[in-house]
């Protein structure tokens, strides 16, 4: 398979810059480490902000806020505010958000299955530098 044929598997019409931009834009969103972790945590069901933050070590309040807003904007997460005192807010994956779990799982399996190969390749590369 030539390089052009491989590219066309990823982007149907790789000659169209708009298609490439669309793919890059989506990958920027779903490839972000905090997005992957938040989607993974919310895959089990709705959670409050602090529960999400406790479930993801190293995730700051600010980054969680930014990530949740971006996911909500993209239609992947719904924010539900309940009229209680104090206010209760939960976040949950939309149906569209749940559709992201499969592709992320495939990518995670690939990454874990190829970790040793990547570590070895990096070691060879670094040794020759």
Task: Kindly tell me the sign of the dihedral angle through the C-alpha atoms of 105, 109, 112, 115.
Answer: negative
- How far apart, in whole angstroms, are the C-alpha atoms of residue 19 and residue 16? 5
Asked whether residue 6 carries a pLDDT value surpassing 50, the answer given is: no
**Which tens digits make up the pLDDT trace of 58-116?**
999 999 999 999 999 999 999 999 999 888 999 999 999 999 999 999 988 999 999 99
Sheet holding 77-82, edge to edge: 47-48, 88-93, 77-82
| Mean pLDDT (the chain, rounded) | 89
Let me know if 55 is exposed, middle or buried by CB neighbors in 10 A (0-12, 13-18, 19+): middle
The model carries a pTM of 0.79
**Which tens digits make up the pLDDT trace of 23-61?**
888 888 888 899 999 999 999 999 999 999 999 999 999
């Amino acid at each position: 398979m030539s390089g052009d044929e491989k590219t066309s598997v990823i982007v149907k019409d790789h000659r169209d810059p708009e298609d490439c931009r669309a793919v890059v834009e989506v990958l920027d969103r779903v490839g972000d480490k905090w997005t992957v972790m938040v989607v993974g945590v919310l895959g089990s069901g709705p959670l409050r902000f602090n529960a999400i933050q406790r479930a993801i070590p190293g995730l700051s309040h600010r980054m969680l806020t930014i990530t949740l807003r971006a996911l909500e904007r993209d239609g992947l997460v719904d924010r539900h505010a309940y009229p209680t005192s104090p206010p209760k807010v939960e976040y949950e994956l939309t149906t569209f958000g749940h559709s992201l779990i499969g592709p992320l799982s495939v990518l995670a399996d690939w990454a874990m299955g190829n970790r040793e190969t990547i570590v070895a390749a990096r070691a060879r590369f670094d040794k020759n530098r």
